[in-house]
Structure 1
Amino acid sequence: MSLKDENAVRYAIWNAYKRRCQITKNLIENITDMEIDHIISVSTFKDKKKVAIYNLPEDFDLHGLENLRPVLRAWNREKSNQELPSEQVNLNLLKARNLKKLVEREITKYHEEKQYALSIEVIREAIRKKDIALEEYVDQIRDYQVDYGYEVISNENNFINSIEVNSHSVRISAHLPRVEEREGNCLFSFNSFYLRQVNITLSHQEILRTLYRGHKTPLELSMRSYIMVNTLSNEFKTYIISIGGCVFHLDIDEVKHLIRAIDIFIENYVEAIKNIECKLESKNFYPMLHDLNNYKLICILPDLFEKIILFTRDHDYSAGESEWHIFDANGTMIKVYEKDSGKYRCFLYAISDNNDGFNWYNTHSNVWLVWDYMNIAGEDLWSAQSTFRWLIEDLIPAVEVYFNTPTKFSMFKKKQNGTKINATIYTNKDKFYDIKTKVSKSKLFKIGESLQLMYSIEKQFYMQWSSYINIYDAILYLVRICPSPDYPYISSKLCLGQVVNKEDLLRNINQEKEKENKGKIYSEKLDLLFRIFTTLVRDSLNVLKEEEISKLISLIEEPINTYNTVKLVESQYKV
């Protein structure tokens, strides 16, 4: 039997390549629909002239793992022995080499599982023949439980970003998001005898919906949605776990192993998404759910978009040499093309404000300009943030001048942070708050509003106790600064009774702070605290100084970071 026909090799390659066909990139749902394809075909390998262009090592094995890939059966038959372009072959060979160790690890795991299953069958046969008692059988089962250990294995290169988190009785094997493949997935394995044949797979959205909420929270606070209830049965305390549509029981030690593995995994998963948005400079913008590499930059009126399209058609790169003859005018996309380098710098398309479709021109609603990260251009493209600034600072003003827009309809009427912003142009400003840069008074007020809204929606939160107390300290700090605090409003929110001066207000708030007990923090209280915070900021806008804003930001830093991460996670799926 050749290597590619061995069951262990087929299973390992199927898993290592994320169960995707390497011709169509479609999911191979059933391993029986998969064939193992030679990257360099047998017939090509016989032709020394053809093979010479690939600079293969002397020990290259035509039938080895470095020359095998999974493909759908139907597409493999369609391809037959047709030769791929040499560039594509080199990319496929590089990917196979990078995945070789992962495939070998999957082969080892397959053989371990097979040996385990055979051993269990031997024990069951011994019970049937009454060679051993049931009690001995249970002891044997426990002896066959494999300890996965405590190791975290990461593998990142140009083709894959994977992680394997081992936590004694639980293993999570996952593909993390990458720019080239924005949606990751994960596979749960358990060494419990009763769950050993259970493999739970979660998609990108399921990971974020199921595992993010409540991560890093103490087990006793019951804030993890996948841990349903716990029951007492005889000597053992067990928990009901619900993940990926599977419901099962774990004992206390197994639950601790599970939550450790999930906490490590979800931190790495969210960090991978953050790294992508840093690379694309897209953290301020919301992605399109059908393609997470497309981001909504600005919302404009339909007639302005029509003028922009006309402007790009009048300034096709082949029609002139001016600074604005930079567009590829084919189609309805805005495509910026650099003639000197022969590279595209920007792709934008339009969608209606009231849906996520593409038919902007059939509606009277406003139009979103969406930045499209084209993999074919990749590193040559302007980032999302650079494209946004180019739109509002360069392109739209040039379009206004070109069409000689009358003054009374002038689009640019406001300024914000030195950048001209159209009164009819809208962009989302609530997805990410950068507190590493200077924060203005108005931005501080907006942060307070956003935090209050977040806590008014959620039921409960967990944060470091010191960070919770810092919110009280921020309020106390604002009370001292504020020229005229709204005593009735603040007193009513905190049930302080009648307060008419700062001294009484400060004393009563301090007393409330001292009454707080460590534990689960309910969002109703956080909602009230940030309502008070925002009111005090509003009433202090005329007197707040830069150093005072910095102090306030430092006191509410953890809630801001939590907000940024929650918004990032929620932007990956439809809430």
Structure 2
Amino acid sequence: MKTNLRRAIWKAHKKKCYYCDENVSIRELEIDHFIPKSTDKSLKEELLRELMLDSNFDFNGLKNLVPSHTSCNNARKGRYVPTAKSFSGVLVITERLLQKILEIKEELDLEEKYDENIGQIESYIEKGQASVEELYDYLNKDEANFEEVENIDHSSIRVSTKNVMIQCLLPRFPELHGSMLITFRSLRVRDCLITFNHSGIVNEIFQGIGSSPKDGYRGFIVYNDASKNSSVVQLGNNRFSLTLDEVSQLCRLIDKISPIYINTIKSIENVFKTQSFAYSTKGRFRLLKISRSLWREILEFAFEHDYENGTTEWHIFDGRASYLKIYCQTPGDSDRDYRTFIYPEAVDEGLWDKFISSDNEVWLCWEPSILIDNESDNTRVQNNIIWSAKYTYDWLLTRLIPTVIEYRREKDRSLLQRLFGQKKKLLSPFNEFNLDLAYNNALLITDYKDIDTLGKWVREVQVFFAIHSNHYLSVGTIEGVYKSIMLCLRNFKLNQGTFEYIKIKLDGNRSIESIIASVESKLNDLSNKNGINGSNMEYALRSLCALLHEGNYGEQDEAILVQKLTIFLEMLSQEYRFLSDLERVRDLWK
């Protein structure tokens, strides 16, 4: 008898022996023929006639089978003479349980088939004939990989490799903050939707841009395990494992998105001229800091020059608020609308600061969100119908504040002075006001034509990496710095103080030659590296700063030296510009 049928009879009878009504274990179980197989044929026929059963009744069928202990079964052997009465009692029970036995057997057969299938699947995986992901995809009729796409437009990015997809909403003014969604085809995290706001993008995802996943500069990579061909990553609040190939795909997509994201913000800031101004926690841009007394005088001036209460060219304010609303006509502009909003913000917002310093200053902040709500406003800003941050700053500094100060002085003059003295005319708010607000773009390294200005630029870069030492830089960048140092060592005369400083920084001994040899050794060591961090770069730049500032190049052609130096430092210039742009983007969240 098949195992599943035995178990089905046993379970249908509640795992009890039919004869003693006690529990019977599967190890003790025997399936007994109530009418024994050895029963005489004539006796079987007599029983069938008495019970009016079909002559073809199957004495090996389920109606004649009951569970029993081995001992109970053995006790009946050779001693039991079946009767119609006892058999009828069995039939009542077995006929009632017949359907249940068949149902249990069907379940057991399905389980057995399932176990066989699972065993085959495990065999496929163990032999390398199929991966877990491939079997999962097949069973779910799911696509094995993402479709590899690269869709980029002015508002969004969607890029994917076979195992990783990133969708990014690019920043749009006035928020200047984007968002990102990362998904994976890896079976472990397939249904996990990992999202990032602007802060998460620029501080977590963009950390270590351009570096190899193996170098340890990517902040979201917790550790790599080459023996298991996997990495543990931390994305947001999610920590999980990916294969090394999946991590590499993720890094490639991030490196593709990062310059687009950063340049989007740069282009927005270029329109609204906010690059030079700090971003406040309230989403405004801090233009300049003045005393609270001057701010009160500005509000008083605005209240007295409400646009509805006068006809002079300075009646341009909506003077019924605790902030400035400029509501005026600019030259050649027939529209009458708000031009800018200026809000005050406390200088020191920390509780402790208020106890240790007097809070008598206030920031004047440009508020973009009220004025600008769609892309069509870009043109209005460029035409000064809506004032940009830089335009507002220049106007405050060169028109409003001088006018308010002069207006207050005039009011403070004595009656006789006002009657007989010569009244000073207030500045015009607009006439002859410089409307050309184009920024001077940052100079390229090739624009520097002398050692002094080049040295100041190197100093600027050195300070940057002293503050932001966690950035990754390529090997080519540090090679250029070391080659610049060697060029200076071979062509500049050094005073004793500079020599001692350079010797310490560059691990030299008692001669210029020993310092050059040390730098050459450092260059050779770079051949085994993919990149360095900013702190290592900063130490090298300190030495170069000292050489450019204190070194004497004597009779040599300065232009030729500068040309050679700029060639060596070109890669540093490119990476510095990109990383400084990244830090600006990070500042927009603070």
Range into which the TM-score falls when normalised by the shorter chain: 0.5 to 0.7
What secondary structure is seen at the aligned counterpart in 1 of 2:173?
coil
**2:211 maps to 1:211:** no
Q: Identity of aligned pairs, percent?
A: 24
- 1:461-500 pair list within 5 angstroms: 461-475=471-485, 486-498=498-510
Q: For the structure 1 residues 178 and 549, does the alpha-carbon distance in structure 2 shift closer, same or farther, using more than 3 Å as the test?
A: farther
Question: Does 2:246 correspond to 1:254?
Answer: yes
Q: Secondary structure at the match of 2:535?
A: helix
* Superposed CA offset, 1:136-157 (max 9, x none): 584522544532132111344x
Q: How does 1:227-238 map to 2 (within 5 A)?
A: 227-232=221-226, 236-238=228-230
Question: Which secondary structure state, in structure 1, belongs to the residue aligned with residue 581 of structure 2?
Answer: helix
Cα displacement (A) at 1:523: 3.3
Say whether the 8 Å CA contact 1:451–1:563 is kept in structure 2. Answer: no
Q: Aligned pair in 2 of structure 1 residues 453, 129: CA closer, same or farther (>3 Å)? A: same
How far apart are 1:170 and its partner, in Å?
Answer: 1.0
Matched to 1:566, the amino acid is: L
Q: 1:493 is matched by which residue type in structure 2?
A: K
Q: Aligned to 2:337, which of 331, 340, 343?
A: 343
Q: Which residue, out of 508, 518, 521, partners 2:532?
A: 521
Instruction: Quote how far apart the aligned CAs of 1:240 are.
Output: 0.7
How far is the alpha carbon of 1:327 from its aligned partner?
2.2
Q: CA distance change for structure 1 residues 284 and 199 in 2, over 3 Å: closer, same or farther?
A: same
Asked if the contact 1:454/1:563 (under 8 Å) is kept, the reply is no
Separation in structure 2 between the aligned mates of residue 210 and residue 201 of structure 1, nearest angstrom: 12
Matched residue, 2:403: 398
- Cα deviation code 1:477-503 (max 9, x no counterpart): 66757896832222222232345xxx7
* Residues 490 and 401 of structure 1, relative CA distance in 2, 3 Å threshold: farther
Give a deviation string over 1:174-233, Cα, whole Å, max 9, x none. 212111543222222212223222121222211222111112211221211111112255
2: CA distance, partners of 1:231 / 1:370: 50
Distance 1:308 1:547 in 2: 55
For 1:152, the equivalent position in structure 2 comes to 150
Summarize deviations over 1:116-169 as a string: whole Å, max 9, x none: xxxxxxxx999747456333584522544532132111344xxxx222111111
Q: Cα offset for 1:250?
A: 1.1
Name which one, 1 or 2, has greater alpha-carbon Rg: 2
Distance, in Å, in 1 between the alignment partners of 2:449 and 2:315 is 38
Q: Which AA in structure 1 matches 2:359?
A: H
Greater relative CO (CA pairs within 8 A, separation 6+): 2
Counterparts of residues 257-276 of structure 1 (less than 5 Å) = 257-276=249-268
1-side partners of 2:336 and 2:543: how far apart? 56
2:170 pairs, out of 170, 176, 180, with: 176
Deviations 1:41-64 (A, max 9, x none): xxxxxxxxxxxxxxxxxxxxxxxx
C-alpha change, 1:242 and 1:397, in structure 2 (3 Å) is same
- SS of the aligned residue for 1:178 comes to coil
Q: What amino acid maps onto 1:240 in structure 2?
A: V
Letter matched to residue 337 of structure 1:
Y
Q: Do 1:288 and 1:356's aligned partners in 2 also have CA atoms closer than 8 Å? A: no
Matched, 1:223 2:224: no
Mapped contact 1:148–1:170 kept (Cα < 8 A): yes
CA positional deviation for 1:246: 1.1
What is the DSSP-based 3-state SS (H/G/I as helix, E as strand, rest coil) of the residue aligned with 1:265? helix
Amino acid at match of 1:462: Y
- Unmatched tracts of structure 2, length 5 or more: 1-109, 126-131, 413-439
- Change beyond 3 A, Cα 1:285–1:549: farther
For residue 434 of structure 1, what is the amino acid of its counterpart? A
* TM-aligned CA deviation for residue 444 of structure 1: 6.2
Query: C-alpha offsets along residues 446-486 of structure 1, whole Å, 9 cap, x if unaligned?
Result: 65444333323445543233322332355566675789683
* 3-state SS of paired residue (1:328): coil
Q: CA deviation at 1:566?
A: 3.3
Shift of 1:342: 0.8
Superposed displacement of residue 172, structure 1: 1.3
Q: Is it true that 1:531 corresponds to 2:577 in the alignment?
A: no
The one-letter code matched in structure 2 to 1:368 is: W
TM-score (norm 1): 0.62
Alpha carbons of 1:265 and 1:559: their partners in 2 closer, same or farther (altered >3 Å)?
closer
Residue of structure 2 aligned with 1:240, choices 232, 236, 247:
232
**SS at structure 1 position matched to 2:229:** strand
> How far apart in 1 are the matches of 2:310 and 2:263?
45
CA distance in 2, matches of 1:284, 1:547: 34
Say which is worse superposed, 168-177 or 269-278, in terms of deviation. 269-278
Contact in 2 for aligned 1:348/1:371 (Cα 8 Å): yes
1:37 corresponds to: none
Q: 2:111 & 2:175 partners in 1: Cα distance?
A: 47
Deviations 1:521-568 (A, max 9, x none): 243332222323444555589x99999889867724135314422321
Q: Distance in 2 between matches of 1:263 and 1:497?
A: 42
Is the contact made by 1:145 and 1:191 (CA closer than 8 Å) also made in structure 2? no
Alpha-carbon distance in structure 2 between the residues aligned to 1:389 and 1:482: 46
Q: Which residue of structure 1 lines up, in the alignment, with residue 323 of structure 2? A: 333
Give the aligned partner of residue 134 of structure 1: 121
Q: Does 1:324 align with 2:314?
A: yes
Say if 2:309 is the partner of 1:309.
Answer: no
Between 1:178-187 and 1:508-517, the stretch displaced more is 508-517
Question: Using a 3 Å threshold, how does the CA distance of structure 1 residues 388 and 547 change in structure 2: closer, same or farther?
Answer: farther
Structure 2: distance between partners of 1:391 and 1:443 = 32
- Counterpart secondary structure, 1:224: coil
Contact 1:354 1:365 (8 Å CA) reproduced: no
> Aligned match of 2:368 in 373, 379, 395?
373
Cα distance, 1:319 vs structure 2? 3.5
8 Å CA contact 2:184, 2:190 repeated in 1: yes
SS of match in other structure, 1:370:
strand
Distance 1:334 1:476, change over 3 A: farther
1:303 offset after TM fit, Å?
A: 2.4
User: What is the rounded CA distance, in whole Å, between the counterparts of 2:170 and 2:113 in structure 1?
Assistant: 44
Counterpart CA distance in 2 for 1:388 and 1:196 is: 50
1:389 matched to 2:394: yes
TM-score, scaled to structure 2: 0.60
Residues 174 and 186 of structure 1 are in contact (CA less than 8 Å); yes or no, is this contact kept in structure 2?
yes
Q: Which amino acid aligns with 1:151?
A: V
- 1:35 is matched with which residue? none
Q: Which residue of 2 aligns with 1:41?
A: none
Q: 5+ unaligned residues in a row in structure 1: which ranges?
A: 1-123, 407-431
Q: How does 1:411-490 map to 2 (within 5 A)?
A: 434-436=442-444, 447-475=457-485, 486-490=498-502
